[in-house]
Amino acid sequence: MTILDSTNPMHRLWSEGHWNKLTVAHGCYWKQCTFCDVGLNYISRYEMTPTDRLIQQIEQLVAETGRTRFHFVDEAAPPAALKSLALALLERKIKITWWGNIRFETAFSPDLCRLLSASGCIAVTAGLEAASDRLLGNMKKGITVDQTALVAAGFKDAGILIHAYLMYGCPSETIQETVDSLERVRQLVAADLIQSAFWHRFTVTAHSPVGLHPDEHGLRILGPEFHGFAENDLLHSDGRSETPDWLGEGLRRSLLNYLERRGLDLDVRQWFDEAVPHSTVPSTWLKYQLKNGVIDDSSETERRCVWLGGAMTYELRGNRSRLIHAKSEQEHVIILPESQAEWVQQLIVTSTPRSPSQAYPHIQQACSQFPGTVSDFNTFLKTSSWKRIRSIGLVLV
Ligand code: SF4
C-alpha cells in the first residue's frame, strides 16, 4: 500500500492538496539533540518571526494563492510563538487551517492545545525518537516518554492529530530497549494518541554532536571517505550494540499494521523474524499514566484567561442566574448566584479575543474581582460550575 491509498487522516495531510509553507521561527530553540545537525545554521541560528510579521505573511499568502491551508515547516515551532500566533489569528478573525512540527514538551498543556485547535491547528508532527527514557536522556531530547503520553493526550482531546518520528539503532540501544519502545508505541497508537508514525534508523550525521565526537558516544566512524563532496551521513560501528536489518523490518511491519488499526492486541515479539525478548513494559503503562500522570503545571497561576466558547446569554430567575451557552447543538445551562454569574459574564467579555494585542485577564486579576474572599474564589474553582465553564471554552494559557 502506498501513502496515496491510505485512509489514515494524517497521511492524507502529506499527500493531498496544496499547503502554503511558512516558518514560525528560524532554527531550533532547543538545539541540543545529539543526533541533530545542531552545528549548522539552519538549526543553530534561532530567530523567532514576530507575530505581526507572521500574520502579514499569512494574509499575503492567502491573497496570492486564494488558499487558507498552512504547513509550518519549522524544525521545532516554539510553544510561546504558537500561542501568540493562535491569539493573533483569533483576535483578527483570520480563519486558516494549519499544522506544524513541534517538540513534545510539557509547555503544550491541554489548554494550549485547545487554543491552537481553536486557531485552526489540525495536526502536529514531533519526535518521540527512541521511546525510551534512557536513550532520550542520552540524546538530550529534553522529554520523557511519560510526559509525551500526557502531552499527546492534550492534543488528542483538542482534536489535533499527531505524527511521531521514531528512531531505532541509537548508540548503545539494546534489542530489549527496541522491543520496549515498540510496546510503548503500540499502546500509544491503540489509545489513538498517535495517528501516524515512522521508524527511522539512527544515522550519524557529520555536523551533529555524535558525528563530531563519536568516541564520547561509544561509536567509531567507518566512512565514507572524503571524495571532494561533503557527505553528511556517516557509516558507524557501535561497540556496545548491534542493529540487525530484521529489527528494522519488524518495526516497519508493526507500524504499517498499527496505523491501519491491525494487530494492536498482538504481542510485539510477533512482528520480528528472529526471537526477541519479552517486553518489560507493563501492558497497563499508558492507562496508568493517563490516570495518574501529571503535567508539570507550575506556571498555571501565571496564566491568562482566554474564552474560546462564543456567546453566552444570561437570564435572571429569582435570586439565581442562568448562564446559557448554545454554541453547539447542545445547550449548557449553568445556574449561579447573581453576583457570580455577573462575574463570569464579565470574565468572558474581557477574555474573548477581539482586538490585536489585547490584555487578557490574569487568573489573579479575575480573583480580585470575584464577589467574595480569596478562599471563596478558591472554593469556586473546585465547583462543577467552574469546571463546566472551563470545558465549554475558558482556557488558561
Ligand atoms: S532534533 Fe529537533 S528538537 Fe532536537 S535539536 Fe534538532 S531540530 Fe531541535
258 plus 384 within the same structural domain: no
pLDDT reported for residue 317: 76
pLDDT reported for residue 328: 61
Distance 240 CA to ligand 1 centre (A): 25
Question: Does residue 351 form part of some domain?
Answer: yes
Q: Is 226 helix (H, G, I), strand (E, B) or coil?
A: coil
Specify the residue with its C-alpha closest to ligand 1, atom 7.
Answer: 75
Give the DSSP H/E element, type plus range, for residue 62: helix 51-65
- Cα-Cα-Cα-Cα dihedral sign, residues 190, 191, 197, 203: negative
Distance set, CA 87 to CA 60, 84, 180, 248, 306 (Å)? 19, 5, 40, 42, 9
252 plus 375 within the same structural domain: no
Distance 345 CA to ligand 1 centre (A): 43
The three cell numbers of residue 55 are 500574520
74 plus 156 within the same structural domain: yes
Q: Where among 232, 262, 292 does a domain terminate?
A: 292
What contacts 360, CB < 8 A, 6 or more positions away?
87, 304, 305, 306, 350, 351
pLDDT reported for residue 5: 56
Question: Does residue 234 form part of some domain?
Answer: no
Structural domain containing residue 77: 3-202+243-292
Question: Does residue 238 form part of some domain?
Answer: no
Distance 142 CA to ligand 1 centre (A): 10
Is any ligand 1 atom within 6 A of the Cβ of residue 76?
A: yes
Distance 60 CA to ligand 1 centre (A): 29
173 plus 308 within the same structural domain: no
Low-confidence stretches of the chain (pLDDT < 50) are: 1-4
Distance 34 CA to ligand 1 centre (A): 9
Question: Does residue 165 form part of some domain?
Answer: yes
Question: Does residue 48 form part of some domain?
Answer: yes
Is any ligand 1 atom within 6 A of the Cβ of residue 89?
A: no
pLDDT reported for residue 316: 74
Is any ligand 1 atom within 6 A of the Cβ of residue 31?
A: yes
287 plus 305 within the same structural domain: no
Is any ligand 1 atom within 6 A of the Cβ of residue 38?
A: yes
pLDDT reported for residue 201: 96
Number of domains observed in the structure of the chain = 2
pLDDT reported for residue 2: 47
Is any ligand 1 atom within 6 A of the Cβ of residue 75?
A: yes
Is any ligand 1 atom within 6 A of the Cβ of residue 32?
A: yes
Is any ligand 1 atom within 6 A of the Cβ of residue 128?
A: no
pLDDT reported for residue 3: 47
Amino acid at position 213, single letter: H
Q: Is 271 helix (H, G, I), strand (E, B) or coil?
A: helix
351 plus 331 within the same structural domain: yes
Question: Does residue 222 form part of some domain?
Answer: no
pLDDT reported for residue 223: 83
Question: Does residue 212 form part of some domain?
Answer: no
Q: Which of 34, 38, 72, 163 to mutate to test the pocket of ligand 1 (most atoms within 8 A of CB)?
A: 38
363 plus 260 within the same structural domain: no
Question: Does residue 62 form part of some domain?
Answer: yes
pTM: 0.94
Q: Which is the closest atom of ligand 1 to the Cα of 103?
A: 3
